[in-house]
Structure 1
Amino acid sequence: MKYQTINNKIAEVMFRQKISKQQLSSTTALPNERTYKESAKELRNRVKRTINDFQDLEKRGIKFNYYFEIGSEYCERPMALEKKFKIKGLASDISLSSLLAASDFAKKLKFETVPKRIVCDAYCLPFRNNSLPFIFCYQTLHHFPDPKPIINEIYRVLAPGGYFFFDEEPVKQILNIPLWRRPTCLRPWEKILKYIGILPFISRIGKTEVDHGILEEVFTLKTWQKALQVFEKAEVTIKPFPFGPQSTVSKSDNVNWLKPKLSTYLLVTCWGGGIRALCQKKGYRIKSNIVNPLEKYTCPVCQTNKKNENIPYLNKSIDNKNYLCSLCKTRFPIISGIPIILPIKEMKIYG
């Protein structure tokens, strides 16, 4: 399995510092990336899609008391969940600047409250085994070289009977000669290539991110299948881009179970597409009176050395400026109410 490097993580943090400043003001630090108005429009669209997704989950009888999101960025999706569905949870990201900017974006999106937030590493989530009832992420897994280690970690902390939901992840387009990376906002000549229909075959998205050292990956269906193999149940939907027949596949005992119908497969192969999945861990459903597991964090340092149920919970210092581990004595700072709970190696990102 492949893993992000520390340099990839530092690049993500530095890039998010720049883009959040640009999207909260009239300054242009990153040309061809979204401006203040463009980012507001995109965030509103994300909120609408999220509400639609969770209304669909609700109709299917999938209910949970608490959520945990990985890669929350500005926390627009948790804000929508807490307002629309009256559920509480925790938004996470490795970028402190993005989480801090959530308060400003809440005003922009007309949300009254900001969710509880935490800086953590998706490779080492600060929770005990079998503790979280519902985990989700959007547009996140493709920033890692391999989704399998992240999904394995999600499975570890997910409670028996708990769910993991993800959406808006790319599927690798086979008929593509990546001559260059294009930015989020197309340049004039790229718009012409898009109009005549050849842009998706000769370029890939993510120029600004990759230039900063961030990973922008696309995975084959085989890679997605291997990553999801850890779950006992999984319902996967493959969506061609920009249009075409979708195909939904349920996980089976068959080794090669992730096989969409032929029309979907051909379109995804030619044009590319996206993948979403709802996965469930084996076991009994979470009872409605469960104690909120998101109020207690475990030490990622001790977790790395010894993954078991007996890792102590972190204690908050008397001055509320740190979380403390009673076992290894590591301190984890709290900045503007947001705890930074990272493994030792990643702590240097924040000094």
Structure 2
Amino acid sequence: MRRGEIVDDLREFIGPMTPFLEIGANAGHSSYMLANQYGAEGFALDISEDSLRYGIALRERWQLEKSPMLVAGDALHLPFKDNSLRMVVAFQMLSQFMDIESVFLEVKRVLQPGGIFFFAEEPMRRLLTARLYRCPYYDTMKPWERKLSDWGLLGFLVKDVIGAHQEESFGIRQNHRMDLGDWHRLIKKHFDDQRYKLFVPEHGWAETLVKKIAIQLDPNKSEWRAARLMGGTLGAICRKAGEAPVQTGPVQYDKLLRCPDCGGDMARNESHAICCSSCSYEAPWKDGVYNLLPSHDKRELYPGERNDIIDFSLPSHEKHLGHGWYDIEGVYGNKFRWIGARASAWLENVKGGEQRLRLRGFAPEPIFQASPRPVVEVFVNGLPLKAWPLDRNGLFALETNLPAAPRYELEIRVSPVWRAPNDTRELSVNFGMLRLIPFEA
């Protein structure tokens, strides 16, 4: 709704929106909005096929008539020709890149002259804070943290965006170095004109008061000074230099694409796969999504059945499991299995040499009611490897190096255990993926 309000408010500045591309689309909520509410045609791109397929389920639930073309791809290597798109949109994703300018350069490459880059919900670094520590999301805050948050005082104490540390613990990178001035300089460097929407926090009486004072002290009585002091989130609509061409006729989607491997032209074949005319690259239409990642990334991120990965979204994962696993739960790629006090599994070293183990899972709130510091411990080939105390409930990603071995027999031990109402199972945490990743020195 907020994104639609920005579009409505700056509709004249935005102009035509076809063809559009949403990068980091997740389930594609905003792309479906652009297609159904504004009649635009275009693409929803995300690195996760599963997220895009979940968007298909949402579209059916919401009974939407129009859909964007769904593409799994990389925002730093967009599978689109130069000057091919009228508008690129991005929400809550630029701050997940350590080099945000690299995304700007790629967006500018694919935009037509006069094209629009619309991004929003990006964090602005807060100047008015003691930067004492990193704080989790509200639902996992301690009681005193929640009280300070309700009063609007917590933001004046924390180092960066609330919840960033939690996301990083799950492997999601966060770049919160950009204040409002940094964003403005980056936009002015790459775009010819721009409009801003600032969303300065007002959590409780303290932030409301400071924001009001900052606006009164601003020479133009705008929110600019408040945003510099208190941070918040930025929305920006940026226009590329040049005159926009007029879009005529329906969008020929495959004509806008370029090969992720060699940059050649792409076209659909009789089986609806998108193929490169210059090399052997081919992207079949699989359950509503085209995967247009570069081949080396596709092999790593979508390896299929491999003995060094236990992906609970794939049926083949069952052959890797030993004792202690409960039935599979979840939907799409978010499938998982609960365990009790212990469970076993195996992974094979298919690449050779030293490896690194990654365990991706979820710790529920009841385990912290049973113990303030639950522990996940891993034994490998009969020997203790590492124990991780868990600080807060929610998603986690645990990693540690492994010695070279042809095969790794894993035993995971978790304490304490707990029981859910009307459930006879003894539970601790659940896991969605166990895998080997490159060794880190």
TM-score w.r.t. structure 1 length? Answer: 0.72
What SS does structure 2 have at the residue aligned with 1:180?
coil
Partner deviation per Cα, 1:97-139 (whole Å, 9 max, x = no partner): 1101012222444534443210110001111111101111111
> Conserved in 1, the CA contact under 8 Å of 2:254 and 2:274?
no
Tell me how far apart the structure 2 counterparts of residues 57 and 316 of structure 1 sit (CA, whole Å): 36
Tell me how far apart the structure 1 counterparts of residues 102 and 14 of structure 2 sit (CA, whole Å): 29
| Residue identity in the other structure for 1:53 | I
Tell me how far apart the structure 2 counterparts of residues 65 and 162 of structure 1 sit (CA, whole Å): 10
| Residue identity in the other structure for 1:332 | A
* 2:2 is aligned with 1:49: yes
Tell me how far apart the structure 2 counterparts of residues 185 and 313 of structure 1 sit (CA, whole Å): 48
| Structure-2 change in CA distance of 1:336 and 1:64 (3 Å) | same
Tell me how far apart the structure 2 counterparts of residues 335 and 71 of structure 1 sit (CA, whole Å): 19
What SS does structure 2 have at the residue aligned with 1:182?
coil
What SS does structure 1 have at the residue aligned with 2:39?
coil
> Conserved in 1, the CA contact under 8 Å of 2:275 and 2:281?
yes
Counterpart residue number, 1:225: 184
Name the structure with the higher strand share. Answer: 2
Counterpart residue number, 1:44: none
Tell me how far apart the structure 2 counterparts of residues 101 and 263 of structure 1 sit (CA, whole Å): 40
Counterpart residue number, 2:301: 349
> Conserved in 1, the CA contact under 8 Å of 2:14 and 2:116?
no
What SS does structure 1 have at the residue aligned with 2:183?
helix
> Conserved in 2, the CA contact under 8 Å of 1:69 and 1:137?
yes
Tell me how far apart the structure 2 counterparts of residues 292 and 178 of structure 1 sit (CA, whole Å): 52
Tell me how far apart the structure 1 counterparts of residues 302 and 31 of structure 2 sit (CA, whole Å): 25
Tell me how far apart the structure 2 counterparts of residues 71 and 287 of structure 1 sit (CA, whole Å): 27
Compute the displacement of 1:195 (Å). 2.0
> Conserved in 1, the CA contact under 8 Å of 2:179 and 2:228?
no
| Residue identity in the other structure for 1:201 | F
Counterpart residue number, 2:170: 212
Match of 1:340 among 281, 291, 309: 291
Counterpart residue number, 1:127: 80
Name the structure with the higher helix share. Answer: 1
| Residue identity in the other structure for 1:236 | Y
**Correspondence 1:52-131 to 2 at 5 A:** 52-60=5-13, 62-131=15-84
Tell me how far apart the structure 2 counterparts of residues 53 and 197 of structure 1 sit (CA, whole Å): 26
**Correspondence 1:120-159 to 2 at 5 A:** 120-159=73-112
Tell me how far apart the structure 1 counterparts of residues 157 and 21 of structure 2 sit (CA, whole Å): 37
What SS does structure 2 have at the residue aligned with 1:121?
coil
Tell me how far apart the structure 2 counterparts of residues 57 and 237 of structure 1 sit (CA, whole Å): 10
Task: Between 105-114 and 126-135, report the one with greater CA deviation.
Answer: 105-114
| Structure-2 change in CA distance of 1:313 and 1:214 (3 Å) | same
Tell me how far apart the structure 1 counterparts of residues 51 and 171 of structure 2 sit (CA, whole Å): 18
What SS does structure 2 have at the residue aligned with 1:224?
helix
**Correspondence 1:1-351 to 2 at 5 A:** 48-60=1-13, 62-176=15-129, 177=131, 179-183=133-137, 185-187=139-141, 189=143, 190-203=145-158, 204-218=162-176, 219-228=178-187, 229-242=189-202, 244=211, 264-289=223-248, 292=251, 294-296=253-255, 297-303=257-263, 312-320=264-272, 322-347=273-298, 348-351=300-303
> Conserved in 1, the CA contact under 8 Å of 2:24 and 2:47?
yes
> Conserved in 2, the CA contact under 8 Å of 1:65 and 1:133?
yes
Partner deviation per Cα, 1:310-334 (whole Å, 9 max, x = no partner): xx312334433x4322323223343
Percent identity for Structure 1 against Structure 2: 26
Q: What RMSD, in angstroms, separates the aligned Cα atoms of the two structures?
A: 2.7
Partner deviation per Cα, 1:184-217 (whole Å, 9 max, x = no partner): 6343523222123332133332344211111122
> Conserved in 1, the CA contact under 8 Å of 2:18 and 2:85?
no
Aligned length: 283
Task: Between 149-158 and 216-225, report the one with greater CA deviation.
Answer: 216-225
Tell me how far apart the structure 1 counterparts of residues 127 and 198 of structure 2 sit (CA, whole Å): 15
Tell me how far apart the structure 2 counterparts of residues 328 and 193 of structure 1 sit (CA, whole Å): 59
| Structure-2 change in CA distance of 1:198 and 1:345 (3 Å) | farther
| Residue identity in the other structure for 2:84 | S
Counterpart residue number, 2:336: none
Compute the displacement of 1:178 (Å). 5.2
Give the unaligned 5+ runs of structure 1. 1-47, 248-258, 304-311
Counterpart residue number, 1:3: none
| Structure-2 change in CA distance of 1:110 and 1:324 (3 Å) | closer
> Conserved in 1, the CA contact under 8 Å of 2:119 and 2:237?
yes
Compute the displacement of 1:172 (Å). 0.5
Partner deviation per Cα, 1:280-304 (whole Å, 9 max, x = no partner): 112222213166263331112224x
Partner deviation per Cα, 1:30-62 (whole Å, 9 max, x = no partner): xxxxxxxxxxxxxxxxxx223222222334472
Tell me how far apart the structure 1 counterparts of residues 141 and 62 of structure 2 sit (CA, whole Å): 28
> Conserved in 2, the CA contact under 8 Å of 1:179 and 1:202?
yes
What SS does structure 2 have at the residue aligned with 1:301?
coil
Higher relative contact order (CA 8 A, sep 6+): 1
| Structure-2 change in CA distance of 1:206 and 1:339 (3 Å) | same
